[in-house]
Structure 1
Amino acid sequence: MNIFCTRPGCPRPDNVFADLNEITSLKTAQQKYCTACGMPLILDGRYLPERLLGKGGFGAAFLACDRRSPTLRKCVVKQFQPANDLTLSQLETAQKLFEREAVVLDRLGNQHPQIPNLLAYFPLECSGWNSSVNQQFFYIVQDYIDGQDLEAELADQGRFSENKVREVLEEILNVLQFVHDQDVIHRDIKPSNIMRDRQGRLYLLDFGAVKQVTQQQGSRLGTSTGIFSMGYAPPEQMRGHNVFPSTDLYALAVTCIVLLTGKDCQELYDSHKGRWNWKNQTQVSNSLAYILDKMLQPTPSDRFASAELVLKALNPPPSPPPIPPLPKLKIQPISPISVQPKTSIQIQTFAPAPSPSPAPSPPPAPPAVSTPPAPPASFQTINLLKAAAFTGFEITLLRIAVNGLLGGSFPLLVLILGGTFGGLVFAQYRRWIETKEQIVLALFSLGLVIFIPLFGQGIPFSAVIIFPVLAALGGVAAAALFRLIYLILYRFL
C-alpha cells in the first residue's frame, strides 16, 4: 500500500508498504514512518494519506482513507502549512483561521447536507527533518466530496449557460442563507470553493476565512482580517472594514459572471471607472442581469441585504389566476299544456324540437349599493370662500363710490347695491368671473375708487382700503358659517 508523507519539502513523499495490502494488517499495524524524512505517516493513528490534492496559502490537502472505517472511507486531510516569510502576528492569525475552520465545520457540517462534515481535528508533534528542533503540525479531517470544483468544470466544459448559472446561484444561496442564519460569513466564495459531486449536488468548501458576525463586547463587529481572494472580495473586505452577509453575495455574483463569460474576474472589472463590464461578454435575461448587477454594487447597503431576498428576486411569486367567468344560465323551455275535448283535463309534456342552443342571457347585474349623492359642485369650499370675499370687497367699494358721487341717497343706494350684488352672484355662479377676473376687477375697482373722494366728500384714504378688506373677511366668515350649516344639514337630512 502507498502512503504519502505530509511533511512539507519531503524529497520522496511516496512510501510503499507491502504488508498493508492485507486488510487485517492494515487495521492493526503500528505507526509507519517516512523512509526519507522520518515523518509519522498514519495520522492520529487512523488516517493514511494517499496523494496530494492541492496546496493553498496556508495549507495542503491530501486524499486519505480511514482505516477505522469498515469500508476504508475516503476523506480529506488538510494540513496547516504557513509560508516561511510570515511574521509572528501573521502566523498567529493564520493558525486561528485554520482552527476556526474546524470549529465552523464541526458546528455547521452536521446540520446542512451541502457543507462537508468535520471528522477530526488534531495536532502532531514530531522531530524536525535534519534538525534537532521538534516541529508541530495541525490537521483537519473532513468528508471527501468525489467530484470536480467549478473552476475545473469551467476549464473542461467552457462557460456556463444562464440556466446552469441560475442553478448554481440558487443552490449556493440556500447554503449561504443557512450559514448567515448561524451568524457566520464565509468571506471566500469563488469557483474553486464550490464542488459538484458525481450526482450533481453542489457543496460549499473552505471555511478557513469565515468570520463570526457576533463578537465579544468591545471588539469591532465583523471586521475583516485581510484574508480574501483578489477580484472576488468586495471593497469593504479589501480595505479591512466591516463585512456583512452582502459581502458573500458580492463574491457569489463575481463567481456567476466568471462562469457566464469564461473570463478571469480581473478582465471583467474596469478599475479606471470602478465598475464591472460583463454583459457585453455574454447573453442573459434582463431579470438575471439586474439581480447580478445589484449584488455587485460597491456599497454594501445598495446590494441585497440577504440571500433570502436574492432567492425571492430569482423566483418571484406567480401572478394570481384570472377570475373564472360566471356560469352561463340556461333557460329550460316550459312544456305546453294541451286540453283534450273530453271533460277531463290532461297535462302532456312535449319534448322540444331540436334547435340551436338559446343565446345565454347575461348574468344578473350586482345590486347597486346606495351611496349618498355628492354635494353640488357650486358649493365647493374654496370657490365659495373666494366668491364671498370678492363680493364683499366689491359691494363695499361700490358703497363708498356711490356715497362719494351721489351723496348717500338711500333708495338709489339700495337699488344700485342690490342689483350689483345679484349680478356678481349670478356671474360667479355661471363661471363668468373666476379667480383671474376677480383679482383684475378688485384691483381695478380699488384704483378707481381711490380717486373718487378727491372730487367728492373727502372720504379718508384709509377707509377706502380698510372697509373693503373688512367686508371681504366678513364675507368669508359668513360663507364659512353657511358652508358648515349646509354640510350639517346635508349629513343628517
Structure 2
Amino acid sequence: MPNTNKSTIHCVNPECPRPYPQIWGDRFCSSCGAPLQLLNRFIPLGRLGSGGFAQIYTVWDRETQTEKVLKVLIEDSPKARELFAQEASVLISLRHPGVPKVERSGYFHRNWTGSKGPQNLPCLVMEKIEGQTLENVKQQYPNGCPPDLVLDWLTQAIEILGHLHQRKIIHRDIKPSNLMLRNPSPSPVVGKYALGSQLVLIDFGGVKQFENSSSAQPHSTRLFSSGYSPPEQIVGGNVEPAADFYALGRTMIELLTAKSPQKLEDPVKHKLKWRNLVDVNPYLADLLDEMTDEDVRSRPRSVAIIKKRLAKIFQLSLNSIPSSQNQSNATTNVNNQPISNPKVNPKISNPKIPVNFNIPVTLPPKYSELISRIEEKFNTIWTNTTTIVNQTTTSTFKFILNFLKACLNTVWSMCLTAIGALLGTTAGFILAYRTIWGLRFAEFISFGLPYITSDSETINGATMILFAITGLGTAWGLTTAGCFGQRRRYFLSALTGLIGYSLGWMTLQVVTPANSAEGLIGFILVAVPLLAFGLGFRSHHVIYAITTAFGTSVPIAVLLQFGSFPSDLFQFNPIPQWFELLVPLVFFVLVGILSSLFLGITYYIILPGLRLLGWHS
C-alpha cells in the first residue's frame, strides 16, 4: 500500500466530535461508535475537503489494493439526495478516460444507529485521479497558459462533452477547478506541461438529463457557478448542451489570460474583453467568443460543429509550420546535398538537378485561410438560417392550431350559451305566465316594488321571473361549455346568473326609464358582470367582468340606435301569446352570444397580452 499511513484512519461520521486520528484495524470509532470500514472493503484514510453538500475522503480499497475517493452526502434534504443519486447513476453509466470511473458497487448507503437515532449517509466511491486541476496549473502561468496547451485541453474537453451529450447528459458546472490533468509530465517545448496529458472532468454533482431540443423543457434546478454559468442557468431556466459550451469557453479564456471572467467582463455589454491580452489564433478566439455568447442561439449548437471548427484550426496551424521548415530545408537539393547559394536559381546554377513538372498548384496560406473563413461563415449562416426557418415553421403551425382551437372553443361556447338563453327564456315565460306560482309571485313583486319607485304603472312582476330564469339558463350554457379555463361550479354560476339578471331587471325598472334603450344598456352593465364573477375563472375576474360587460353593451347599443329592437320590448299583454316572446327571445340569445364571444376574446387575446406585459393577478 504505497504512500499510505497504516497507523491511523478517519471516521466519516459528520457528527463525530473527534473523527481523526483513529487506530488502524479498529472496526468502530472510539469517539462516536460509528463503523469505520465501509462494506468491509473501504477504509477512510483522510479528509480531502468539501464539495457542495458532501465531504470528500481518500479511502483504501482492500479488494483492488488502490486508493480511491469517497464522497459522503451530509445534506439531509430530498433534493440533495436526488442530485447525489443522479450523479452516481451518471458516473456508473459512463466509461471514458476523461471521466472518473465508478463501479456499480461504488454507490451505497451507510446505515447505523447513533446517539441521534438511525443514521443514513449516501456514499459514492470513485476512481482517484492523480494529478492537478487546471485551477492549480493556471497558478504556474501568471501570464496565461500557452495557447497550444489550451487548444489541446479544449479539444479533449469537447471529446468528453461529446460522450456526455450523446447520452443526454449536461454537466452544468465546468470550471478550472473541475478539470484535472492525469499525472502531468514536464515538457521543455510548451512549458511545464506536455501536450496530450489526459484531461479529466470531475464533480458531477450538478448533472442534468435533457431531452431533444425540439421538445418543451422543464425549468432547471437553480445550480450555477458565478462567472462560468450562462444566464439561462443562473435564472433557473431551460438549460441545453450549449450551457456547457459557455462554461467551457469562459474556462479556456481564463486559462489563456490568467484572469477570472469577472475581471474581463464588460459591465455594459456583458461580453469578455480579452483578445487584446493574449496572442492567440484568431479563429480560436472567434470560436471562444461564440461559445461564450450571452444569447444561447448564437452559440454552437452541438459538439460536432465545434469539432469541425477545431479541426480547421489545427489544419491552419499545421499549414503555418512548413513555411519555416521549408526555409531551413531550402539549402538542400532533392538528393539531400547542400546548395552553396540558396538564393540562386538551382535550374541555372546546377543543371544536373532534375525538375519536377508534376508539383501540385497550391494557394498561398492567406488565400487558403480566407477561403476556409468564408466556408466557415457560410456554414454558420446556413445552420442559423435552417434553425430559424424550422423554428418559424413550427411556431407558425402552433399559432394556427392554437388560433383554430380558440375559434372552435369560442364558437362552441356561443352555441351552448345561446341554447341556455333560449331554454331559460322559454322556461321563464312559461313559469311567469302559465303557472299559478308565477302569477302569485308576479303579483307580490308588482305590489311591493312601487314602494321603491313612484312609476308603478310600468312595473310588471312577471317579467322579473322571465329575466331571472333567463339568467339561470345563460349561466348554465356558459358553465357547461367550460371553454375558458373556468371551473364548472353549476350552483354558484346559476345563482349569480339569476341574481345578476334580476338586478338587471330592477335597473331596467328603477334606475332608468323602463323599457328604454338606456334601460336595456343598464341591464347589460349590471347583469353581465355579476354573471362573469360567478363562472369560476381562476384569475383576473375584474378584467373578465369589465371587458365582457362593455363588449356586449356596445353592439346592443348600436342595434338599439338603428331601431333593431322596439321600445316596448318587454311590454306584454296581461295574457301574452307565444309570438310576443319572439323579440325578447332574440334579445336574450344575442346578449348570451355576445357575452360568450367577449369572454373568449378576454381569455385568448387580452389576458395573454397583459401577462406578456407583466401584469399577473
Aligned match of 1:104: 90
Task: Report the residue type matching 1:55 in the other structure.
Answer: S
2:11 corresponding residue in structure 1: 5
TM-score, normalising length: structure 2: 0.46
The DSSP-based 3-state class of the residue aligned with 1:125 is: strand
Shift of 1:44: 1.8
Q: Tell me the equivalent position of 2:181.
A: 196
1:119-134 equivalent positions in 2, closer than 5 A: 119=103, 120-128=106-114, 131-134=115-118
Q: Which AA in structure 2 matches 1:271?
A: P
For residues 269 and 297 of structure 2, the distance between their equivalents in structure 1, rounded to whole angstroms, comes to 20
Q: Give the aligned partner of residue 176 of structure 1.
A: 161
Partner of 1:290: 286
What one-letter code is carried by the residue in structure 1 that aligns with 2:131?
A: G
**Deviation of the 1:220 alpha carbon:** 5.5
In the TM superposition, what is the alpha-carbon distance from 1:142 to its structure 2 partner?
0.7
Change beyond 3 A, Cα 1:63–1:295:
same
The offset of 1:177, in angstroms, is: 0.9
SS at match of 2:180: strand
Cα distance in 1 for residues equivalent to 2:299 and 2:311? 18
Kindly state the Cα deviation for residue 51 of structure 1 after the two structures are TM-superposed. 1.1
CA distance in 2, matches of 1:41, 1:47: 9
SS at match of 1:127: strand
CA deviation profile, 1:54-111 (whole Å, cap 9, x unmatched):
2022101111111122xx21111001122x8xxxxxx211211110011001111xx3
Q: Say whether residues 1:64 and 2:59 are aligned partners.
A: yes
Give the secondary structure class of the aligned counterpart of 1:68.
coil
Question: 1:46 & 1:295 partners in 2: Cα distance?
Answer: 44
1:157: how far off? Answer: 4.1
Kindly state the Cα deviation for residue 243 of structure 1 after the two structures are TM-superposed.
Answer: 1.1
1:216-295 to structure 2, matched below 5 A, reads 221=217, 223-295=219-291
CA distance in 2, matches of 1:255, 1:79: 28
Distance in 2 (CA, whole Å) between partners of 1:134 and 1:220 is 41
Query: Aligned-pair distance for 1:135?
Result: 2.1
2:511 is aligned to: none
Matched, 1:153 2:150: no
3-state secondary structure, aligned to 2:43 = strand
Q: Is the 8 A contact 1:127 1:135 kept in 2?
A: yes
1:355-384 residue CA offsets vs partner (Å, 9 max, x unmatched): x99xx9x99xxxxxxxxxxxxxxxxxxxxx
Q: 2:9 touches 2:22 (CA, 8 Å); kept in 1?
A: yes
Instruction: Name whichever structure is richer in helix by fraction.
Output: 2
Indicate which of 55, 69, 79 corresponds to 1:93: 79
Indicate if the aligned counterparts of 1:222 and 1:244 stay in contact, CA closer than 8 A.
Answer: no
Q: Aligned AA for 2:283?
A: S
Label 1:171 to 1:222 Cα distance change in 2 as closer, same or farther (>3 A).
farther
The answer to whether the 8 Å contact 2:22/2:29 transfers is no
1:270: Cα distance to partner?
A: 2.5
Asked if the contact 1:233/1:250 (under 8 Å) is kept, the reply is: yes
Q: Does 1:53 align with 2:37?
A: no
Cα distance in 2 for residues equivalent to 1:223 and 1:107: 24
Partners of 2:17 and 2:118 in 1: CA distance? 19
Task: Specify the structure having the higher radius of gyration (Cα).
Answer: 1
- Give 1:136's aligned residue: 120
Instruction: Report the Cα distance in structure 2 between the residues aligned to 1:271 and 1:7, rounded to whole angstroms.
Output: 45
Letter in 2 for 1:181: Q
SS of 1:251's equivalent in the other structure is: helix
1:127 and 1:314 mapped to 2: Cα distance? Answer: 55
Paired residues of 2:261 and 2:272 also in contact (CA < 8 A): no
Q: State the SS of the aligned residue for 1:14.
A: coil
d(CA) in 1 for partners of 2:66, 2:116: 36
Contact 2:141/2:258 (8 A) holds in 1: no
Deviation (angstroms), 1:160:
0.8
Return the letter of the residue paired with 2:160. Answer: V
Q: Secondary structure at the match of 2:236?
A: coil
* Partner of residue 455, structure 1: none
What is the match of residue 207 of structure 1? 204
Q: Residues 357-368 of structure 1: matches in 2 within 5 Å?
A: none
Q: Residue 94 and residue 281 in structure 1: after superposition, are their counterparts in 2 closer, same or farther (change >3 A)?
A: farther
Of all paired residues, the percent bearing the same amino acid is: 37
Deviation, structure 1 residue 42: 0.4
Query: SS where residue 288 of structure 1 aligns?
Result: helix
Give 2:410's aligned residue: none
SS of the equivalent of 1:196 reads: strand
Query: Which residue does the alignment assign to 1:445?
Result: none
Gaps (5+ residues) in structure 2? 1-5, 185-196, 320-350, 359-617
Residue 279 of structure 1, CA deviation: 2.1
Distance 2:183 2:236 in 1: 38
Mapped to 2, the partners of 1:212 and 1:190 lie a distance apart of 20
The unaligned stretches of length 5 or more in structure 1 are 21-30, 85-90, 322-355, 364-493
1:75 aligns with 68
Question: Within 2, Cα distance between the matches of 1:180 and 1:48?
Answer: 35
Q: 1:180 to 1:273 in 2, by over 3 A?
A: same
Specify the SS of the correspondent of 1:118.
Answer: coil
The 1:62/1:273 distance shift into structure 2, 3 A limit, reads same
Q: Aligned partners of 2:219 and 2:63: how far apart in 1?
A: 41
What SS is found at the alignment partner of 1:255? helix
Supply the distance in 1 between the matched residues of 2:227 and 2:267 (Cα, whole angstroms): 11
Match of 2:39 among 29, 39, 44: 44
Shift of 1:223: 3.3
Q: Which amino acid aligns with 1:12?
A: R
CA contact (8 A) 1:117 1:142 kept: yes
Larger RCO (alpha carbons 8 Å, 6+ apart): 1
> For residues 419-465 of structure 1, what are the alpha-carbon distances to aligned partners after superposition, in whole Å with 9 as ceiling and x for unaligned?
xxxxxxxxxxxxxxxxxxxxxxxxxxxxxxxxxxxxxxxxxxxxxxx
C-alpha displacement of 1:180: 0.6
TM-score where L is the length of structure 1: 0.57
* Separation in 1, partners of 2:59, 2:200: 19
Superposition deviation, residue 230 in structure 1: 1.3
Residue-by-residue CA offset, 1:133-165 (whole Å, 9 max, x unaligned): 222111001111111111122124433111111
The one-letter amino acid of 1:59's match is: A
Q: What is the CA–CA distance in structure 2 between the aligned matches of 1:161 and 1:272, rounded to whole Å?
A: 30
Q: CA deviation at 1:318?
A: 5.4
For residues 315 and 173 of structure 2, the distance between their equivalents in structure 1, rounded to whole angstroms, comes to 34
Q: Which residue of 1 aligns with 2:373?
A: none
Q: Give the Cα separation in 2 of the matches to 1:5 and 1:104.
A: 27
In 1, the alpha carbon distance for the partners of 2:251 and 2:55 equals: 23
Residue 114 of structure 1 aligns with which residue? 98
Query: Counterparts of 1:371-382 in structure 2 under 5 Å?
Result: none
Distance 1:160 1:38, change over 3 A: same
> How many pairs align?
299
